[in-house]
Amino acid sequence: MTLPSHIALGLIIGKVTGNYGLAISTSVLIDCDHFISLYKHGVLRSFKEFWKAETNPEGVCGGIPRPN
């Protein structure tokens, strides 16, 4: 899942539980291990590069597709 997918899922869970802050933060933090890979590939230099990499369906690792 991409970052926008995690945020959307957090919004849905927040709507159901009534606690948006906790739902969004946990849905994003669960996937924080990807930041290590993004850092190694130099994507964290700017928000524009980060967002482009996160919304790219092919992933950031040289075209390796993301698992669904």
Q: 45-56: per-residue pLDDT in tens? A: 888 888 887 787
Please tell me the predicted confidence (pLDDT) of residue 19.
92
pLDDT band at 35, cuts 50/70/90? confident
Question: Tens digits of per-residue pLDDT, 8-27?
Answer: 888 999 999 999 889 888 88
Q: What is the mean pLDDT of the chain?
A: 79
Helices (H), the chain: 3-17, 20-29, 34-40, 47-55
Q: What is the pTM of this model?
A: 0.49
Separation CA 68–CA 50 (nearest Å): 20
pLDDT exceeds cutoff 90 at 1 = no
